[in-house]
Amino acid sequence: MSTAAKTRSRAVKAPKVTDQPLFIDGKFVDSASDRTFPATNPATGEAICQVAEADATDVNLAVQAARQALEKGPWKTMDAADRGRLLYKLADLVEKNAEELAVLEALNSGKIITDARGDLQGVVNTFRYYAGWADKIEGRTVPVRGNFLSYTLRQPVGVVGQIIPWNFPLLMLAWKWGPALACGNTVVMKLAEQTPITGMRLAELALEAGFPAGVINVLNGYGETTGAAIVAHPGVDKIAFTGHYETAKVIQKAAADTLKRVTFELGGKSPNVVFADADLDQAVQGAFHAIYFHGGQCCTAGSRLFVEEPARKEFVQRLAEKTKERRLGDPLDESTQQGPQVSQEQMDKILGYVQMGQKQGARLVAGGKRHGDKGYFVEPTIFDGVKDDMAIARDEIFGPVVSVLPFKSVDDVIERANNTHYGLAAAVWTKDIDKAHCFAREVRAGTVWVNCYHVVDTTTPFGGFKMSGQGRENGEAALDHYTEVKTVTVKLS
Ligand code: NAI
Ligand code: MG
């Protein structure tokens, strides 16, 4: 591991960040309780600013504002094309302020600045994509029996509670605001407690773009309090959540009391399968990116690396060589390749899994330790000789830790790839189109990559089979989850 990044000077200056309010009914306000909590820089462990903490009272105000905007305000009667124009305007404002937003995102999430810039492009793309949809969400005329005219209307679900995580703060916000607003819903969003800053800046840009008061409300606070209050509120029609499946279970049970709609995106333990006939240069590079992108804090991380036996030894050796070159350091330094994990809690969880892996008999080939003694850095880590039933092969570690699992045949690897309660993503590396397409058909996952990894575009549906989720985000598919279908039947004379 190179520590050279420590001696380099920053290319990007850290901004001064003021304390963060809540955004309710088009205004920035303190929380009703006046309570605050700190936002932290994970590269140093130091506080960046204080953040207003919402409780049930603030949630109630936000839901009331969102309901008012849904039922009474200009949003209700606005032409669909004008909703699209507002989204285009927001995209333009994000684009104009992209560098400032990327720096803030890197500062608070630990994401390296070059990745943060990529995320910002994704945000702009997402808003533009859904802006285009706003006036293309159509019903149908239906040929019913008898002398009737039946047609369907697609109307907003209503007030949508959106609860997002810390790994892609702005991108997750865009994936949720885009389709919700294009379909005419109003939003009460809770940002992750680890990353409470950039979403507030987006609220400011939404105000500047001209979204009417109450259409978008943004809160900060903890899951068990603020998040739970959104889920429990009878004035919220739907919850869209991204995070851990254990949290989703709690949310689904709580949502049952009011029979809210729920959509979930819940991470994975994605199989990345390398056949011996693959282009090994590309596959090594791909496997590296699959697990270490954003320090493994990625729902689609390629954390189960199946390598066909004849190629395994060389493959692992080459992967280990590359990890030694990886530069860990300041996320605001443009030469840094891996930043810190988001929090002490996440770092401790990851290091706990490394210990468990060693105890259960896997062979540590690279990494395995905390990097430095400041901030929450973890070395890129490789385990070889991993057995399918070890904890490091079953649980989502959400860090830079890959488990290498040898395999011998297509059937064997498909069965083992599917032997998990997760089903978010999978990838296959081979030059044999038959193997590639068989694998793509048989693997139980919402996204399959062939000879590539982490290629996610706002235009294609994204979500999980099994316990990796319910519903789909992105693409046209997301619109189904933000509209109710109404049938209107007219008796003709
Ligand atoms: P989490 O699922 O607890 O938190 C995600 C969001 O849900 C946050 O905004 C949080 O405040 C909120 N939340 C938590 N409990 C809630 C509740 N009872 N009601 C309503 N909202 C609630 O995830 P956490 O604790 O940040 O990370 C733990 C693990 O979850 C990670 O190690 C990783 O394995 C997984 N995760 C997966 C993500 C993904 O992209 N699918 C993103 C973040 C975490
Ligand atoms: Mg949690």
Residues in the chain: 493
183 lines ligand 1 (CB under 6 A): no
Is 299 a pocket residue for ligand 1 (Cβ < 6 Å)? yes
Cα distances (Å, whole numbers) of residue 137 to 80, 153, 241, 441, 452: 9, 9, 23, 30, 32
The residue-averaged pLDDT of 328-357 equals: 98
User: What is the mean pLDDT of the segment spanning 267-275?
Assistant: 98
**Which of 55, 119, 163 maximizes ligand 1 atoms within 8 Å of its Cβ, making it the mutation to test the pocket?**
163
237: left (phi over 0), alpha (psi -120 to 50) or beta: alpha
Please work out whether the CB of residue 192 comes within 6 Å of at least one atom of ligand 1.
yes
- Strands, E assignment, 283-385: 304-308, 363-366, 381-384
Whether the per-residue pLDDT at 120 is higher than 80: the answer is yes
Residue 425 Cβ inside 6 Å of ligand 1? The answer reads no
For the segment 27-54, what is each residue's pLDDT rounded down to a tens digit? 999 999 999 999 999 999 999 999 999 9
Q: Across residues 468-478, what is the average pLDDT? A: 98
Residue 13: what pLDDT?
87
CA of 265 to the centre of ligand 2 (A): 14
- CA 344–ligand 2 middle distance (angstroms): 13
What is the pLDDT of the chain when averaged over all its residues? 97
Closest CA to 236 of 212, 262, 266, 213: 262
Q: Is the pLDDT of residue 349 over 90?
A: yes
Q: DSSP readout, 137-204?
A: ----EE--SSSEEEEEEEEE--EEEEE--SSSHHHHHHHHHHHHHHTT-EEEEE--TT--SHHHHHHH
Per-residue model confidence as pLDDT tens digits over 244-264: 999 999 999 999 999 999 999
pLDDT at 377: 98
In short, whether 227's Cβ falls inside 6 Å of ligand 1 is yes
Reduced to 3 states (helix: H, G, I; strand: E, B; else coil), residue 218 is strand
C-alpha 169 to ligand 1 mean position (Å) = 12
Tell me which ligand sits closest to the C-alpha of residue 163. 1
Token pair recorded at residue 54: 């919402």
Helix (H) or strand (E) holding 240, with range, is strand 238-242
Q: How far apart are CA 493 and CA 486, in angstroms?
A: 23
Distance in angstroms (rounded) separating the CA atoms of residues 381 and 373: 18
Query: Does pLDDT of 89 surpass 70?
Result: yes
CA of 247 to the centre of ligand 2 (A): 7
State residue 312's pLDDT score.
97
247 lines ligand 1 (CB under 6 A): yes
**pLDDT score, position 94:** 99
- Are the C-beta atoms of residues 299 and 75 closer than 8 Å to each other? no
Q: Which H or E run contains 264? A: strand 261-265
Please give the number of the atom of ligand 1 that sits closest to the Cα of 230.
20
- Return the pLDDT at 9: 62
**How many other C-beta atoms are found inside a 10 Å radius of the C-beta of residue 10?**
14
Cα separation, 200 vs 385, in Å, equals 45
Asked if the model's pLDDT at residue 5 lies above 80, the reply is no
Report CA 277 to chain centroid distance, whole Å.
33
CB 353 within 8 A of CB 415: no
Mean pLDDT for the stretch of residues 366-381? 98
